[in-house]
Amino acid sequence: NAGVMQNPRHLVRRRGQEARLRCSPMKGHSHVYWYRQLPEEGLKFMVYLQKENIIDESGMPKERFSAEFPKEGPSILRIQQVVRGDSAAYFCASSPPGTTGITQYFGPGTRLTVL
Amino acid sequence: TQLLEQSPQFLSIQEGENLTVYCNSSSVFSSLQWYRQEPGEGPVLLVTVVTGGEVKKLKRLTFQFGDARKDSSLHITAAQPGDTGLYLCAAVHTGGFKTIFGAGTRLFVKA
Closest by CA to A74, choosing from A14, A17, A2, is: A2
Whether A75 has its CB under 8 Å from any CB of chain B: the answer is: no
Averages of pLDDT over each 10 residues, chain A, 115 residues:
89 98 93 90 90 91 95 95 96 84 87 96
Is A59 in contact with B44 (Cβ distance < 8 A)?
no
Q: In the 3-class helix/strand/coil scheme, how is chain B assigned residue by residue?
A: CCCCEEECCEEEEECCCCEEEEEECCCCCCCEEEEEECCCCCCEEEEEECCCCCEEEECCEEEEECCCCCEEEEEECCCCHHHCEEEEEEEECCCCCCEEECCCEEEEEEC
Whether B95 has its CB under 8 Å from any CB of chain A: the answer is: no
Chain A positions in Cβ-Cβ contact with residue B97 (cut-off 8 Å) = 48, 55-56, 100-101
Whether A25 has its CB under 8 Å from any CB of chain B: the answer is: no
CA–CA min distance B78, chain A (Å): 26
Closest by CA to A43, choosing from B51, B108, B6, B19, is: B6
User: What are the tens digits of pLDDT across the range B38-68?
Assistant: 988 999 999 999 889 999 999 999 999 999 9
Is A100 in contact with B92 (Cβ distance < 8 A)?
yes
CA-to-CA distance for A92 and A35, rounded, in angstroms? 6
Amino acid A96: pLDDT: 85
Is A93 in contact with B42 (Cβ distance < 8 A)?
yes
pLDDT category at B30 given cuts 50, 70, 90 is confident
pLDDT higher for B46 or B28?
A: B46
Distance (Å) of CA B3 to CA A88, B19, B103 = 21, 23, 10
Closest by CA to A101, choosing from A41, A55, A53, A62, is: A55
